[in-house]
Structure 1
Amino acid sequence: MNVSDLREILQYVPRFRERVFVIAIDGEVAASDNFPNILLDLAVLRSLSIKVVLVHGAAHQITELAAARGVKLSNADGTGVTDTATLQVSIDAAIRLTNEIMEGLSAVDLRAAYINAMIAHPAGILGGVDQQYTGRVERVDVKALKLLLDEGICPIIPPLGFDGEGRTFRVNSDAAAVEVAEELGASKIIYLAPHSAFAGEGLPRQVSVAETNDLLKRRKDDLAPSIWSKLDCAARACVQGVLRVHVLDGSVNEALLTEIFSHEGFGTMVYSNEYQQIRRIFKKDVRAVMSLIRQSVKNEELVRRTRTEITEKIEDYWLLEVDRTPVACVALHVYPEDASGELACLYVSKTHENQGYGRKLMAFVENIAREKGLKRIFALSTQAVHYLQQKGGFVEVAPERLPAVRRIKYETSGRNSRVLEKIFSA
């Protein structure tokens, strides 16, 4: 990890401190070679005062134990019929895995406790078929969970629910995570899915609830069941008040931390809303702007700017934020002697491309320029000429159209940029 990585992480810490994250781990992920790394990631979250509730699945362990015992399962993941034999195997496999997780958390110096926090009732008869010992979560023992969290203890919740008569029911862990998160007012649910479920899925990085539901309809037949279940639960969780749900490949080291503590993220995020704002930058934002455009400068798409240069013209720069995270920037440099302005430093992060942010910033700059009484705006570009023409309505012109002061700078830069102009109608 380099210094810039640490700085990027630190900007998220105040936002997430004392918030509750529900981490939902697939049983296959818990059996993978990467699971010890995930436990270390959980220790990092706790060290940053993030409260973690761990909900785990056990279909993988149930299937293996059933094969070892010669038991024919009626269903493994808690979405179908659970007969008596399957229930017994499910209890044994789930509790064994819970104990293994507790041992792993102890090894990374985290206190953990198994808790029967899910009160369940029978799923009943669905489609004319008695689901027997398959259950649905009726409510969550929030008080008990909060007592543990307030003491710095990580609650571990297996895919089992209990009713008031002492009966045990097999519940689906994906759905259980939704109920736990809703009851606790969690900020996030993070689903860690097995690597095998991601083969060829081509999932988007960010999707709204509406887009997720559309995706589920369009790809009902080709999405892996594990991914379909998690996306379906993610959309439902967002509707029920959880702001963000993430679906990650649990086999990848540091995927959890990368998704939480970086602009780029790693997996697929389902969101219930998206808070956007365009605002002026402050001195504290200069570093964020330089970090945002660093790669574009390296690729010679944007001209190199020093911290001093940005600070001296700080009132010219604007940031577009999504959920308080800078994802795009732009500048408007005014030339009053020519009644013109330069649209400059237009950049949208790779993770937020093709979402209309570039056009939004161009329209924003145009409105500001009009308010200032400018007659036109111009832009210099080496690699985005077609974009500016097609999306912004710019027309290529000769360098002689530049204001005298700007033309001198243009001629001495050696970039040989092409000049584009947009004249405002009266």
Structure 2
Amino acid sequence: MTTSPLEEADTLSAQEATEFSPAQFVRWFREVAPYVHAFRGKTFVVAFGGELVQANALNNLIEDLSLLSALGIKLVLVHGSRPQVNEQLRLKGFQQQFGRGREPMDPDALECAKEAAGEIRLDIEAAFSQGLPNTPMSHAQIRVISGNFVTARPTGIIDGVDYRHTGQVRKIDVEALKFAIERGSIVLLSPLGFSPTGEAFNLAMEELATSVATSLRAEKLIFLTQGQGVIDADGNVNTELARLDADALLAAGGLDEDTAFYLQYASKAVKRGVTRAHLVPFNTDGVVLLEIFTHDGVGTMVVEDTLDDLRPATIDDVGAILQLIEPLEEDGTLVKRGRAVIERDVENFTVLEHDGVIYGCATLHAFAEDQMAEMGCLIVHPEWQGTGEGEILLRHMESRARGHGAKRLFVLTTRTSHWFIKRGFVQGGVADLPKEKQAHYNRSRNSLIFIKRL
């Protein structure tokens, strides 16, 4: 067996997307297809504050959300309005300004909150109503529904302070929400709720979005924030966090205020049953599409456990393995096997899976008498090369080989000798192979032999 090259892929950045050749466009479109299939019919709750509206990012977001709707994704939008409420208060001569924390709201401030929410709601509905030719909204014909889906209760008196018209979510009308979204409408929720007595209460957008996402058991809760997400020690965005790791970061402190604020709600949502919660920067054009339809996304995703998964292959994975292998068989990197051989040997394969998409594989064959094992078909999809997945597969296969009692791991390759040399393999000869392998060595391919002591 030979192994595939693990070199950097010739892929386009988002900035270069407008320069797609036809072949590149077709390749990209095919690569996002698994995500389209996976998310069709799923429910996403998308939440954003009034800061996004202030930054004039609303129209671009609406265009992207309309595309998600066209792809069969069910959407509930939750908007905030803090900066708009504060502006209303300032214009009317009131001194009070609202921050992120829960604060008392008097009747005058409540009126400002109603005005701000109403203005933003109308702007969003107008944006979804666009339909000019030669624009992303052409032929969209999206219905937006707002209503009294949220029952609120007063926060009450805490430590002697009466919070008056500041409220909390009491109940979400799940059946009414499902009725609307399952018929193709987008539900739009403002940060206001109503009590059974007819009173209105101001709600925190983040709490409302989390409550809606958990009540609907949403596939995703997406917060569009001013920050970039969780930044690691090297200054890079941590694209995926297990919930327990997110909680540990929150407990340790050190996160910036914006990130910590949203991360606590993301963690809470995942703990309560939301599959994935995301923090993404609204100042990046197309951020929702990039987060959903690219492997690592552009923000931070919180999950109950990490999604990258090394697991034994099953017969259901044969098609995906063939898709990884066939291009390398065509260019001569790998020996042609065919479906029948893969099906026969599928129990020897390990696959690397992310979010339901198989993007890497490797196979292992043990030679017990010689205390050796052969690794083959080490493949990482070109779109996801260069970020350590090859190393992950290699370490896993080394561990499997040790489990079989192997003292040495060998590979046969025609293209990637330097990659293996850098990882501790040394060149050997045919005589160094197990006797059984020597008998089947294909001398016409003249594959190089590399061996690593385990």
1:244–1:128 distance in 2 versus 1, CA, 3 Å: same
1:110 is paired with a residue whose SS is coil
Q: Given the alignment, which residue of 20, 27, 38 partners 1:15?
A: 38
Contact in 2 for aligned 1:197/1:224 (Cα 8 Å): no
Which residue among 254, 257, 262 is the counterpart of 1:224?
257
Tell me, yes or no, if structure 1 residue 132 matches structure 2 residue 168.
no
1:175 aligns with: 207
State the partner residue of 2:450.
419
Partner amino acid for 1:82?
A: M
Structure 2 residue identity aligned to 1:363: S
Kindly report the root-mean-square deviation, in angstroms, between the aligned alpha carbons of the 2 structures.
3.5
Question: Do residues 38 (structure 1) and 61 (structure 2) align?
Answer: yes
Aligned partner of 2:312 in structure 1 is 278
Give the Cα–Cα distance (whole angstroms) in 2 for the partners of residues 198 and 89 of structure 1: 33
Q: Percent identity?
A: 27
Instruction: Please tell me whether residue 305 in structure 1 is matched to residue 340 in structure 2.
Output: no
Question: Could you say what secondary structure the match of 1:181 adopts?
Answer: helix
1:103 counterpart residue number: 126
Distance 1:32 1:340 in 2: 61
**Are 1:58 and 2:81 matched, yes or no?**
yes
TM-score, structure 1 as length reference: 0.81
Q: How does 1:318-357 map to 2 (within 5 A)?
A: 318-332=350-364, 340-346=372-378, 349=384
- Give TM-score scaled by structure 2 length: 0.76
- Find the partner of 2:400 among 358, 364, 368: 364
Question: In the alignment, what sits opposite 2:11?
Answer: none
Deviation at 1:183, TM superposition (A): 1.3
* Structure 1 residues 56 and 407: CA distance shift in structure 2, 3 A: same
Distance 2:102 2:227 in 1: 21
1:408, distance to aligned residue in structure 2 (A): 4.3
Give the Cα separation in 2 of the matches to 1:382 and 1:364: 23
Deviations 1:20-69 (A, max 9, x none): 11111222123334322211211111112211000111123223333333
Query: 2:263 and 2:83 mapped to 1: Cα distance?
Result: 20
Check conservation: 1:274, 1:323, Cα contact below 8 A. Answer: no
What residue in structure 2 maps to residue 160 of structure 1? 192
Shift of 1:353: 5.0
What does residue 249 of structure 1 align with?
A: 281
Instruction: Select which of 229, 243, 248 maps to 1:209.
Output: 243
Are 1:75 and 2:98 counterparts? yes
**1:19–1:50 Cα contact (<8 Å) kept:** yes
State how far apart, in whole Å, the 2-side matches of 1:123 and 1:132 are.
7
Deviation at 1:209, TM superposition (A): 0.9
Structure-2 separation of matches of 1:197 and 1:29: 16
1:231 CA drift (Å): 0.8
Q: Which amino acid letter does the alignment assign opposite residue 33 of structure 2?
A: L
1:9-28 residue CA offsets vs partner (Å, 9 max, x unmatched): 22123322222111112221
1:155-212 residue CA offsets vs partner (Å, 9 max, x unmatched): 1001111111222111111111111111112111111112588899744111111000
> Using the alignment, how far apart are the partners of 1:322 and 1:48 within structure 2?
21
Give the superposition deviation at 1:357.
5.6
Mean alpha-carbon deviation: is it higher for 335-344 or for 74-83? 335-344
Structure 2 counterpart of 1:32, which letter? A
What is the rounded CA distance, in whole Å, between the counterparts of 1:202 and 1:132 in structure 2?
Answer: 43
Matches within 5 A, 1:401-416: 401-402=432-433, 404=438, 406=441, 408=443, 412=446
Q: Is 1:94 aligned to 2:126, yes or no?
A: no
Aligned residues: 399
The Cα of 1:103 is off from its aligned counterpart by 0.7
- For residues 307 and 182 of structure 1, the distance between their equivalents in structure 2, rounded to whole angstroms, comes to 49
Match of 2:177 in 1: 145
Q: Who is 2:324 aligned against?
A: 289
CA distance, structure 2, for counterparts of residue 68 and residue 352 of structure 1: 54
1:325-382 CA distances to partner (integer Å, 9 max, x unpaired)? 2243212357799774321343564567599665334323554x55xxx775313642
The correspondence for 2:301, drawn from 260, 269, 275, is 269
Q: Aligned letter for 1:155?
A: V
| Distance of aligned partners of 1:124 and 1:346 in 2 relative to their CA distance in 1, 3 Å threshold | farther
Q: Tell me whether 276-285 or 22-31 shows the greater mean CA deviation.
A: 276-285
Residues of 1 paired with 2:373 and 2:229: CA distance?
51
Give SS of 2:127's match. helix
**Map of 1:392 onto structure 2:** none
> How many Å apart are 1:111 and its aligned residue?
0.7
Is the 1:159–1:170 contact (alpha carbons within 8 Å) kept by the matching residues of 2? yes
CA contact (8 A) 1:287 1:307 kept: no
Unaligned runs of 5+ in 2: 1-19, 131-136
